[in-house]
Amino acid sequence: MRHDVARKRRPAFTHLIWWFLFAQGGIIAAILIPVHVLVQGILGPLHIVPVVDRHYDTWIRFLGNPIVKLYLLVLIAAPFFHFAHRLRYLLVDLGVPAARTLPAQAVFYGGAVVITGVTFWVLLTTAPLSFG
C-alpha cells in the first residue's frame, strides 16, 4: 500500500515537458506568427519597414545567420508541439479511449519531433552558417 502512495506523489516530468512545449507553442502561435506575418507579409511589401525580399541572394544571406535559423526553427517547430498536444487532448475530451495510450502519444508527439527534426535539417543544409 505504501508503494502505491509514493508512486502517486511522484511528479510526471514527461507530462510537464509536453505541457511546457504546449504553452510555448501557443504563445508563439498567438503572438509571434501574427507579428511575423504583419511585418514580413504586409508592412514589408508596403515599404513601411525593411524586410528580406524574395530574391535568392538576399534570402540566403539572411538565412546563413544562426540567429535567423534559430528564430525560424522556433517559429516553425513550437506550434507543432502545441498542435499535437491540443489535438491529443481534444480526442481525450471527446472520449476516444485510444488517445490516452502510449501509441497515440508516440504518434502525436513523435510527429512534432519529426517535423522539428526535418525543420532543423532543412535549416542546416539550406545555407552555410555565416557569423559576419
Residues 6+ apart with CB under 8 A from 115: 76, 77, 80
pTM of the model: 0.78
- For residue 23, tell me if it sits in a domain: yes
What average pLDDT does range 97-111 have in this prediction? 91
- For residue 6, tell me if it sits in a domain: no
Residue 81 in contact with residue 112, Cβ under 8 Å? yes
**Whole-number Å distance between alpha carbons of 28 and 93:** 24
pLDDT at 2: 58
Q: Look up the domain containing 19 and give its range.
A: 15-126
**pLDDT exceeds 90 at position 121:** yes
Q: Which residues of 111-129 are buried (b: 16+ CB within 10 A; e: fewer)?
A: ebeebbeebeeebeeebee
**Number of domains, the chain:** 1
CATH code for the domain of 77? 1.20.1300.10
pLDDT in tens, 25-81: 889 989 999 999 999 889 988 999 988 877 888 888 888 889 999 999 999 999 998
